[in-house]
A and B are shown apart, each in its own frame.
Chain A
Amino acid sequence: MTEGIGARVLRKEDKRFITGKGRYTDDIIEPNQAYAAFVRSPHAHANVKGIDASAALAMEGVVDVLNGHQLTGDGIGNIICGWGVTSKDGTPMNMGAWSALATEKVRYVGDAVAVVIADSAEIAKLAAESVVVDYETLPVVVGSVEALADGAPQIHENAPGNLIFDWEIGNKEPTDAALASAEHIVEMDIVNNRLAPNPMEPRSAIATFNESEDHYTLYTTSQNPHVARLVLSAFYNVAPEHKLRVIAPDVGGGFGSKIYIYPEEITCLWASMKTNRSVKWTSDRTEAFLTDAHGRDHVTHAKMGFDKNHKIVGLRVNTKANLGAYMSLFSSATPTYLYATLLSGQYNIENVYADVQGVYTNTVPVDAYRGAGRPEASFVMERMMETAARQLGVDPAELRLKNFVKEFPHQTPVIMAYDSGDFAANQKQAMDAADYKGFEKRRTEAAKRGKLRGIGFSNYIEACGIAPSAAVGSLGAGVGLWESAEVRVNPVGTIEILTGSHSHGQGHETTFAQIVAERFGLPTENVAIVHGDTDKVQFGMGTYGSRSGAVGMSAIVKAMDKVEAKVKKIGAHVLEASEDDIIIEDGAVKVKGTDKQMLWHEVGLAAYTAHNIPEGMEPGLKESAFYDPSNFTFPAGCYICEVEVDPETGVTKIIQFTASDDFGTIINPMIVEGQVHGGLAQGIGQAMFEGVVYDPDGQQLSASYMDYCMPRADDVPMYQVMHQSTECPGNPLGMKGCGEAGAIGSPPAVINAITDAIGNNNLNMPATPSAVWAALQEASKQAAE
């Protein structure tokens, strides 16, 4: 089978994407459509004293100007957070209200206070500029540490001191005791920089209210259209679910930022009803910086203890997580259950304790962004391990090897039960490929050229395929995290797979077809993947957390099991054989050991004509399944980064980046390698280039590509990407997930390499040339003292 599991099948979807024929939300044109432009706050914190829209309303082409009082007056609900986190003292989190259009107060620059609906996008934008809002400005705070300080500006009334939650995990007293008696202590302050997600396609929505049917249709850039419909219906009261269709057509990247249901999408739906027009809004790039949920932004203090044999005896971590001005959909889960549950890393550590403070600030809401909590955890773990090795004077690879979890399943002190892995094998594969042994020679050679060469490791582990519904429910999740699928075999034998997963770059149309090809021996061109439309697919939880393989494909496998069972019954009946003797291979249903067979399309036809099927069998050939995983999956790997720094300018060049990943079963190695390449570029972007910068007034200083540096092709090396896999025991295909690993594992490898090169461990991300140069100056100053 050339197109089955393990085949490098070219992406079926690329024909339309690379010929410019993708159909994105902004490409959808509805008759009589109008355009929305939002009136946004230029202040990070202010009371709204009044809104004068008279000039806008007087402009030709303006349909209406709507505000937050009208929105809430019509019963549109406040934006929810979908995961409740309980503080140490047992109290629920202190969550402030978030209306899609602010009424009394604005809390970050970009907070929308009104919307203009007009005949053209240009008129809407001009009219929005003419709306006069009377603001009474208030003191601003942008950093989590500052927001927790005494006397900081109070952002939400019901979150005193801006503290949303003070949460903990692990075993506190034993951890403190272990640290107290440890032979060596490594202690660090670690900052994880704030990032803007920057999908290539900005967010967009077009909403249509059909008055005669009391029905809404929303096309939008979503990673999870069913979740959007559920939330829009159950919490925002736009319309009941059967009166609301949500379609996420081609979506150009998400990285987490398109999980959430934002004010703009809600407002477009409501405004369509108010104006009886289709209402379209498409974000421009500046709006994306100002309103797409940001990622990361942790300030952490960590303390790790070792015994005299360099075994880790305990780890204690405190993290202050900046959640921005409002709590976005998964904002509470990202710095808690998606983060601190991985603070055991790849290591056998008996005692781990972490506490996390979630903090309101006058900044854009912060939520899950590619990796979501796990990059922050791996950055803490792997910076600590590398630093420990330097302080203990031992080889960083040896120190890790000594502390690896070696037996599975392994229960960590922070909830997770690792099911499989071979961390030493990944490390060895990466070290061999990177020629770790030859590094010192290369360092010496580089020094002769005036360059500082460094090498850094990152042995990451993450949790994907989020996760058993009952388990996440007990931890506070508002939804179940299963997935559904439907396999429709048509009378001519072609197959449609309806999936609740959503592809916004992942290549599902190819990989999902491959598992059908593998199972039934059919060409992938006979398989179509249907997704992204709540009227077509019954339900689904969508795509994030690298879950479409481990969870989404498992649901398809379950549905295919049912199809296979029925096909075998039909085959046995028609071919007059025992069901046990029926096999399916090469697109045919055969009687084992004979030449009797039905071609696949003949089975389909038999099922639908129903002229000759077993008595009592329902006609047709269509099965659905819901799959609820039994555990998270645990992709892991070893990344080795080698850099050269120009001491004159601080410019860092990545000479070599080696990645050995354990993703379990791989369906399409080409697509998996592409995911790793993209993830590594994103992680290298975080480590060396990207960073949202606010000034003290809460203005973003990095809200365009003139100042926010995305990694470019010439910034990244040719990667060495390889696999050393153990099968995941938790799902039928043995898959672990690959969508985020690159972004999770790479930042610590890069920073470990640069700090090794420059001889100064005090370096934050992004390690820009100026930051690296400053660290070099600091190092030479210290050396002189």
Chain B
Amino acid sequence: MYTTKYHKASDAANAASLLGASPEAKILAGGQTLIPTMKQHLAAPSDLIDISGIAELSGVTIEQRKKLGVLKAKGGETITIGATTTHYDVANNADLAAVCPAITGLAANIGDPAVRHRGTLGGSIANNDPAADYPAALLALGATIHTTSRDISADDFFTGMFSTALNEGEVIKSVSFQAPANAGYGKFPVPASRYAMVGVFVAKSIDGDVRVSVTGAGDDGVFRHAGLEAALSSDWSSASAAGVNVGAEGLLSDIHGNAAYRANLIGVMAKRAVDAA
């Protein structure tokens, strides 16, 4: 590992100012991507700003839907997850599982136990690995990303492979979204890394809006799939998802699977995601 300067940030604002102070500084949350990358000499941040101990950045809150009239469908709660909440804590939050089991199930299948106990939601989306799971969930759930300077919609936040709308000196504090009426995640892991070769997150809001996002497959990171959204909007069923002809254009080809295979998997995983929802 190259020499670096370690800082322990006292709060989110302090982290942001430390980050802004050096163009080569990096935020350290769970370190599950950054530290291995540094050990391999593939990253050389001048400063590491550790935000893992900041209480305000961690935890899950669930705000019940205001009782306007009669509660007839499930969903609608406002869920806020702190940026440094670990995958393990998301996966094992029973209250969250009661209102959005799709996201707790997703977290339970990220990496391995060591990764889940250290890795964080904020770290995952800030890195925006094209095969990461959380970007698919946040995009399909229409989440908002709250940073030290603004709120960013998921649609605007994920700007391409390993790329986000975050500015220099901007730190993610939390994400929030409305619990869906129904949601599911279908993941097909790459046999070696067990990252998503294809992950499809399907979500239907309490207003009936359907959003479908795909991770692992796109040649520029996570994306929404219009064909699947249209099909599931008119008929929320696995048969409807299976009936969509998913094209291979814009999809990745690598040693684990070509674009045609990934296109096939998008259809299959969408179907299974609806089944799981």
Contact = CB atoms under 8 A, between A and B. Distances in A.
B265 interface: yes
Given A129-B41, A768-B256, A706 B193 contact: yes
A706 B196 CA distance: 12
Interface in B1-35: 1-2
Nearest to A695: B255
A649 B2 contact: no
Given A706-B192, A770-B256, A649 B265 contact: yes
Nearest to A709: B192
A211 interface: no
Contact of A689 (B2, B191, B258): B191
A693 B255 CA distance: 8
Contacts of B255: 693, 701-702, 707
A769 interface: yes
A126 B2 contact: yes
Contacts of A126: 2
Contacts of B195: 706
Contact of A770 (B1, B192, B258): B258
A24 interface: no
A615 to B, nearest CB: 70
A769 B268 contact: no
Interface string A115-137: 00000001001100100000000
B186 to A, nearest CB: 10
A705 B191 contact: no
Interface string A672-708: 0000000000000000010001000000011001111
Contacts of B254: 701
Contacts of B256: 707, 768, 770
A650 B255 CA distance: 15
Identify whether the interface residues of A are mostly helix, strand, loop, or mixed: loop
B261 interface: yes
A770 B193 contact: no
Interface residues of A, number: 23
Contacts of B265: 649
A122 B191 CA distance: 32
A398 interface: no
Interface string A301-330: 000000000000000000000000000000
Given A707-B192, A707-B193, A770 B257 contact: yes
B149 interface: no
A773 B264 contact: yes
A773 B195 CA distance: 19
B161 to A, nearest CB: 16
B93 interface: no
Nearest to A689: B191
Nearest to A646: B268
B188 interface: yes
Contacts of A773: 261, 264
Interface residues of B, number: 18
A774 interface: yes
B40 interface: yes
A648 interface: yes
Contacts of B257: 768-770
A286 interface: yes
Contacts of A129: 41
Which of A689, A710, A773 has its CB near the most chain B CB atoms (within 10 A)? A773
A336 to B, nearest CB: 30
Contact of B1 (A122, A650, A693, A702): A122
B218 to A, nearest CB: 17
A163 to B, nearest CB: 29
Interface string B174-201: 0000000000000010011101000000
B268 A649 contact: yes
Nearest to A773: B261
Given A125-B41, A706-B193, A707-B193, A648 B268 contact: yes
A774 B261 contact: yes
Nearest to B271: A648
A315 to B, nearest CB: 33
Interface in A429-468: none
A769 B191 contact: yes
Interface string A631-649: 0000000000000000011
A684 to B, nearest CB: 12
A125 B38 CA distance: 13
Nearest to A702: B255
Contacts of A770: 256-258, 261
B188 A708 contact: no
Contacts of A709: 191-192
A648 B264 CA distance: 8
Contacts of B258: 770
Contacts of B188: 649, 769
Contacts of B1: 122
Interface string B192-223: 11010000000000000000000000000000
Nearest to A691: B255
Nearest to B193: A706
B49 to A, nearest CB: 23
Interface string A265-287: 00000000000000000000010
Interface string B233-269: 0000000000000000000001111100100110010
A129 B258 CA distance: 35
Contacts of A702: 255
23 contacts: A122-B1, A129-B41, A286-B40, A648-B264, A649-B188, A649-B264, A689-B191, A693-B255, A701-B254, A701-B255, A705-B192, A705-B193, A706-B192, A706-B193, A707-B256, A709-B192, A768-B256, A768-B257, A769-B188, A769-B257, A770-B256, A773-B261, A774-B261
- The 8 residue pairs across chains A and B that have the minimum distance between CB atoms: A709-B192, A770-B257, A706-B193, A770-B261, A709-B191, A648-B268, A693-B255, A701-B255
Interface of B: 1-2, 40-41, 188, 191-193, 195, 254-258, 261, 264-265, 268
Given A706-B195, A773-B261, 12 more contacts: A286-B40, A648-B264, A649-B265, A649-B268, A701-B254, A701-B255, A709-B192, A768-B191, A769-B188, A769-B191, A770-B258, A773-B264
